[in-house]
């Protein structure tokens, strides 16, 4: 492909497949190789997506070197070492969320990429929601006045329903319930999404927070096979924002009736916004002008927004970093880490 960006796909799981399908629709780029620690999976992925190269180790792909940038879709715990190796080789990276398992690791990755002057982005998928992007523009334009309160939730129900499979028997879900297998619970899994959703939508930073977590009994002795079911299932956060506004943020895997949904309400002194999103779409309702006297909400059309894959390609072609960046994802990871501190010490913590 003449003049196009050659992409390396690192990891070959579900997210890698989703990325491959989306990048295939974009002119100006092509995926030229796949890497997986299991060489057979790498070959199967390459065959499925008609890629000319497959590798069983990142080191082999780096020695080959015939690619311009990488999509890092490895498991969470592998993000740091693989990304640092790519950065050291001068390769821009679109990394899956969370950027790293802890804030110090995320910060190290951020500083390395920035020092190298490389495009660095994280796939916070709900930035793809047109309703969120429209809400952000309306807040920035002052259409709801000064933000005074916000409330946000990310609710799933796979611990009470079998719509994604049976967590009691399937390892792809059981590991998410066990700290010994790399999970940090619902907070570590989807906390980055809802924290980004509310702070980006409201255009505000969180300056202090208080978090409470709960782990519920799910099996006799708290074990299923080798999996100790010990991570948080539900989390509630009280937050103070940078302009003095207050907010509440919560997430759960026990939200019966909610498959996988994000909700955000932003209340200003001259209007309010209601954002809803899931993996397939989003919607926006507004309460503005004289409607605030009758608490009337009206649906609003939202123009399409570029997906993160498109933003990454634009950044590669322009040489200017796109959103969301490594630094942004590291800031969200800092909030997640502080939630664990707040819960363990039963206190409000500041973020600065």
pLDDT for 197 beyond 90: yes
Mean pLDDT, the chain, integer: 96
User: What is the band of 352 on the pLDDT scale with cuts at 50, 70, 90?
Assistant: confident
Residue 301, CA distances (Å) to 131, 132, 203, 264, 267 in order: 8, 12, 21, 17, 19
pLDDT for 108 beyond 80: yes
Both tokens assigned to 250 = 């919560």
**Phi, psi angle pair for 299, to nearest 5°:** -65, 150
The pLDDT, as a whole number, for residue 290 is 97
Please state, in angstroms and rounded to a whole number, the distance separating the CA atoms of residues 349 and 346: 9
Query: What are the structural domains of the chain?
Result: 5-125 (3.40.50.720), 127-309+333-350 (3.30.360.10)
Q: What is the pLDDT of residues 133-181, one digit of tens each?
A: 999 999 999 999 999 999 999 999 999 999 999 999 999 899 999 999 9
Please state, in angstroms and rounded to a whole number, the distance separating the CA atoms of residues 113 and 321: 11
Q: Residue 70 forms beta bridges with which residues?
A: 8, 93
The pLDDT, as a whole number, for residue 3 is 56
pLDDT for 225 beyond 50: yes
Whether the CB-CB separation of 261 and 274 falls below 8 Å is answered with: no
What stretches of the chain show up as alpha helix (H) in DSSP? 14-23, 39-48, 58-64, 79-88, 103-116, 130-140, 171-174, 185-202, 291-294, 308-318, 326-345
Q: What is the pLDDT of residues 315-328, one digit of tens each?
A: 999 999 999 999 99
Tell me the average pLDDT across 257-265: 97
Predicted TM-score (pTM) of this structure = 0.94
pLDDT for 45 beyond 50: yes
3 state DSSP class of 21: helix
The pLDDT, as a whole number, for residue 78 is 94
User: What is the band of 2 on the pLDDT scale with cuts at 50, 70, 90?
Assistant: very low
Please state, in angstroms and rounded to a whole number, the distance separating the CA atoms of residues 78 and 36: 12
Cα 253 → chain centroid: 16
Q: What is the pLDDT of residues 57-73, one digit of tens each?
A: 999 999 999 999 999 99
The pLDDT, as a whole number, for residue 334 is 98
User: What is the band of 199 on the pLDDT scale with cuts at 50, 70, 90?
Assistant: very high
Tell me the average pLDDT across 80-92: 98
Tell me the average pLDDT across 259-273: 98
């Amino acid at each position: 492909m003449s003049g196009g960006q050659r992409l390396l796909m690192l990891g070959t799981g579900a997210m890698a497949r989703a990325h491959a399908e989306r990048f295939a629709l974009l002119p100006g780029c092509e995926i030229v190789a796949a890497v997986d620690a299991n060489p057979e999976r790498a070959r199967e992925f390459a065959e499925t997506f008609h890629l000319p190269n497959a590798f069983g180790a990142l080191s082999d792909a780096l020695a080959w070197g015939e690619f311009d940038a990488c999509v890092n879709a490895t498991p969470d715990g592998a993000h740091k070492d693989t990304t640092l190796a790519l950065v050291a080789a001068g390769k821009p990276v679109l990394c899956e969320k969370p950027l790293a398992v802890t804030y110090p690791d995320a910060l190290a990755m951020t500083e390395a990429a920035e020092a190298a002057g490389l495009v660095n982005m994280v796939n916070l998928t709900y930035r793809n929601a047109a309703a969120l992007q429209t809400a952000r523009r309306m807040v920035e334009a002052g259409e709801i006045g000064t933000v005074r309160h916000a409330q946000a939730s990310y609710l799933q129900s796979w611990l009470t329903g079998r719509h994604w499979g049976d967590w009691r028997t399937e390892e792809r879900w059981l590991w998410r319930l066990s700290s010994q297998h790399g999970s940090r619970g619902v907070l570590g899994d989807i906390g980055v999404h809802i924290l980004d959703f509310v702070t980006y939508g409201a255009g505000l930073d969180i300056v202090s927070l208080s978090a409470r977590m709960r782990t519920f009994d799910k099996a006799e002795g708290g074990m299923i096979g080798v999996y100790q079911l010990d991570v948080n299932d539900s989390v509630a956060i009280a937050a103070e924002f940078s302009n003095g506004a207050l907010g509440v943020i919560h997430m759960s895997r026990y939200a019966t009736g909610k498959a996988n949904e994000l909700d955000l309400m932003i209340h200003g002194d001259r209007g309010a916004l209601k954002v809803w999103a899931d993996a397939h779409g989003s919607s926006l309702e507004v309460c503005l002008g004289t409607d605030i006297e009758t608490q009337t909400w009206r649906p609003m059309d939202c123009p399409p927004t570029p997906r993160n894959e498109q933003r990454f390609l634009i950044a590669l072609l322009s040489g200017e970093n796109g959103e969301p960046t490594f630094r942004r994802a590291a800031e969200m990871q800092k909030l997640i880490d502080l939630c664990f501190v707040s819960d363990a010490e039963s206190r409000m913590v500041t973020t600065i």
